[in-house]
Structure 1
Amino acid sequence: MREQLQDLFEKRIHYFVSESRRLDSFYPKAEKKKELLAKRSAEIVKVTATGKTLQETVEGEITKAQYAVHFQYLIKQNGHMYLEEEIEERVGRFFQDELISDEEINPFADRKPPEDMPVFAESSGEERLSYQYNRLKAVQYAERWWNSYNPAYKKFDVDCTNFISQCLHEGGAPMNGYPNRSKGWWLRDHNWSYSWAVANALRLYLSNSRVGLRAREVSSPEQLSLGDVICYDFQGDGRFDHNTIVTGKDAYGMPLVNAHTYNSRMRYWAYEDSSAYTPNIKYKFFAIYDGQ
């Protein structure tokens, strides 16, 4: 099995840099990614991929192997170069040691949305918390932990919002609202606010907070700076599913982001190459206030 998966890695690397669309038809993701890059006057000049088996299970005569592939794309755009990385989880199915199917796991598929929950930014009359938001520290944290988990914090099965909250806190944003889970933005011991760990709740908090961590919603991604936050509603149904933090800019000043759940770094902000993307996607762009 390992030899067949390794052969797949090598073929996929070739697809990303090949000019042949016939090859790309065997791996649509490569074709899609190249098309999106071309729209930005960018191209992949080199790809590396390493794989790791996560779990093997046997179901009758079928052996199912869940594995992760760490892709690194060296991207050239308008004379500039940057490295994008992502961890793609996949599942391969084998019959008598022959690979019969291989597909990407969409980390957002079949996920039951959390029940509606109240999110209160703060109580009326509550005093503001003085702080300075250090964007560099927030970005450094996002770079350090984009593909691993800081043992100083709780890890969640769906970790995207928890990761963004960690980045904001490490940048100096103060917690407030403990111990009310519906109030403020906080993590303590084995408890946390909804806004700390739930994507839609963080979006609501950033829209309404007037104490401690605060943000201003802007209308376009190019208005964002490093350390700012983008929220994603993949289905366009008003319930936001995912959050990222801006960690870089491309040659035209558009955001590149880091994230958990689908662990990635320096990824183009629009997520059009994601298996979770739909034509109905909606975004919210939050510029974090530098302090008060």
Structure 2
Amino acid sequence: MREQLQNLLEQRVRQYVSQSRSEIHDCPFIERTKESCINRGAEILRITAEGKITKEGKTTEGTEVFYKVHYQYLIKQKNAFLIEERVEERKADFYKGILVEDNEINLDALEIPKVETNEVARNQEEQDEVEEEVRKSFKYDRLKAVQYAERWWNDYNPAFKSFDVDCTNYISQCLHAGGAPMLGFSNRSKGWWMRNNNWSYSWSVANSMRWYMPGAKTGVRAKEVNSPSQLLPGDVICYDFQGDGRFDHTTIVTAKDADGMPLVNAHTANSRRRYWAYEDSTAYTPNIKYKFFTVVDDH
């Protein structure tokens, strides 16, 4: 039965790709990506996709199947070519072996743990005391941060805990791989750290990281810049999809496109070299706000 379902889903995935080429609007995920490319003067030349079942179970009305589709887009922009990769998670419902429903799971819009902004700001005032524990200077190795981001963009390092909403945890790991030291162990509201199945809010929660980095006096810290074009590989973008002041998502810059604009890697909705603006995300709204942070070190 599982082999039969896998074959049916593979047929469905091939259908997405063929329809995208003939402009049939049956796969919003691909159509949004095409529109995003057009908006920046780029063109998708080729799409490949592979589906894999991750979980299945019986329901009163048949079988529900959760599966992932790994897309690769060959994109041309001016005279440059790049490959963007994305993993879409979907849920399909079958009745007597017939596909009756197939929907995207919107991972970008998953609810994140709530940490009040005033709590983050209040604890930031005490940061100097926390960081005196281990006052390490460091030089940020952007290459190592990007290499880590590339290695683990669609996988999970077993040395760290992973989360259902894993975007900021992944970014913290990338920054740490670049040399940023952990500080302020044991109190989740202070410092930036993960140890022994415990972690700070700033390590794992997007809104907390957004407030932590520009206020830190040592360790991992960042300076806000006005434009995404000012960012370098290894820098960080924070996203407030609703524009309500609470930031929901975090990405790391891993490359630049032909216009010098950032391409980013991310977790939760696992992505590699995705265009920074996230206009093709189901979580995108016209009210979206961004924060652009360039990482600073002691050298």
TM over 0.5: yes
Name the structure 1 match of 2:16. 12
Secondary structure in structure 1 of the residue aligned to 2:46: strand
CA displacement 1:75-102 (0-9 Å, x = unmatched)? 1111111111111000011122111111
Q: In the alignment, is the contact (CA less than 8 A) between 2:130 and 2:190 conserved in 1? A: no
Structure 1 residue ranges without an equivalent (≥5): none
Q: In the alignment, is the contact (CA less than 8 A) between 1:134 and 1:290 conserved in 2? A: no
Name the structure 2 match of 1:188. 195
Note if 1:260 corresponds to 2:279.
no
Q: In the alignment, is the contact (CA less than 8 A) between 1:133 and 1:171 conserved in 2? A: yes
Looking at structure 2, the residues matched to 80 and 112 of structure 1 have their Cα atoms a distance apart, in angstroms, of 37
Note if 1:130 corresponds to 2:127.
no
Note if 1:197 corresponds to 2:201.
no
Q: In the alignment, is the contact (CA less than 8 A) between 2:35 and 2:280 conserved in 1? A: no
Change (3 A) 1:248 1:215: same
Looking at structure 2, the residues matched to 110 and 145 of structure 1 have their Cα atoms a distance apart, in angstroms, of 21
Name the structure 2 match of 1:273. 280
Secondary structure in structure 1 of the residue aligned to 2:128: coil
Looking at structure 1, the residues matched to 193 and 29 of structure 2 have their Cα atoms a distance apart, in angstroms, of 38
1:226 to 233, 242, 249: 233
Secondary structure in structure 2 of the residue aligned to 1:123: helix
Name the structure 2 match of 1:92. 92
Q: Look up the equivalent residue of 1:50 and give its one-letter code.
A: E
Q: Say which is worse superposed, 186-195 or 29-38, in terms of deviation.
A: 29-38
Q: In the alignment, is the contact (CA less than 8 A) between 1:227 and 1:247 conserved in 2? A: yes
Secondary structure in structure 1 of the residue aligned to 2:18: helix
- Identity among equivalent pairs (%): 57
Q: Look up the equivalent residue of 2:7 and give its one-letter code.
A: E
Q: In the alignment, is the contact (CA less than 8 A) between 1:15 and 1:30 conserved in 2? A: no
Name the structure 2 match of 1:3. 7
Q: Look up the equivalent residue of 1:28 and give its one-letter code.
A: P
Q: Look up the equivalent residue of 1:238 and give its one-letter code.
A: G
Name the structure 1 match of 2:107. 107
Looking at structure 2, the residues matched to 259 and 157 of structure 1 have their Cα atoms a distance apart, in angstroms, of 13
Q: Which residues in structure 2 correspond to 1:149-168 (within 5 Å)?
A: 149-168=156-175
Secondary structure in structure 2 of the residue aligned to 1:204: helix
Name the structure 2 match of 1:60. 60
Looking at structure 2, the residues matched to 125 and 224 of structure 1 have their Cα atoms a distance apart, in angstroms, of 29
Looking at structure 2, the residues matched to 148 and 97 of structure 1 have their Cα atoms a distance apart, in angstroms, of 31
Q: Which has the higher helix share?
A: 2
Q: In the alignment, is the contact (CA less than 8 A) between 2:207 and 2:248 conserved in 1? A: yes
1:148 to 146, 149, 155: 155
Q: Look up the equivalent residue of 2:98 and give its one-letter code.
A: E
Looking at structure 1, the residues matched to 50 and 69 of structure 2 have their Cα atoms a distance apart, in angstroms, of 6
Q: Say which is worse superposed, 128-137 or 242-251, in terms of deviation.
A: 128-137
Q: In the alignment, is the contact (CA less than 8 A) between 1:230 and 1:244 conserved in 2? A: yes
CA displacement 1:184-237 (0-9 Å, x = unmatched)? 111111211110111111111012111111100111111100000000111111
Q: Which residues in structure 2 correspond to 1:3-42 (within 5 Å)?
A: 3-16=7-20, 18=21, 20-21=22-23, 23=24, 25-42=25-42
Looking at structure 1, the residues matched to 87 and 257 of structure 2 have their Cα atoms a distance apart, in angstroms, of 21
Q: In the alignment, is the contact (CA less than 8 A) between 2:32 and 2:281 conserved in 1? A: no
Q: In the alignment, is the contact (CA less than 8 A) between 2:220 and 2:297 conserved in 1? A: no
Structure 2 residue ranges without an equivalent (≥5): none
Q: Say which is worse superposed, 215-224 or 116-125, in terms of deviation.
A: 116-125
Change (3 A) 1:158 1:236: same
Name the structure 1 match of 2:80. 80
Q: In the alignment, is the contact (CA less than 8 A) between 1:247 and 1:256 conserved in 2? A: yes
Change (3 A) 1:185 1:125: closer
Q: In the alignment, is the contact (CA less than 8 A) between 1:228 and 1:246 conserved in 2? A: yes
CA displacement 1:110-157 (0-9 Å, x = unmatched)? 626424272334136955531100000000000001011111112222
Change (3 A) 1:286 1:26: same
Q: In the alignment, is the contact (CA less than 8 A) between 2:130 and 2:183 conserved in 1? A: no
Question: Which contiguous aligned blocks of 4+ residues in structure 1 show a shift greater than 6 angstroms?
Answer: none
CA shift, 1:39, in A, is 1.8
Name the structure 2 match of 1:240. 247
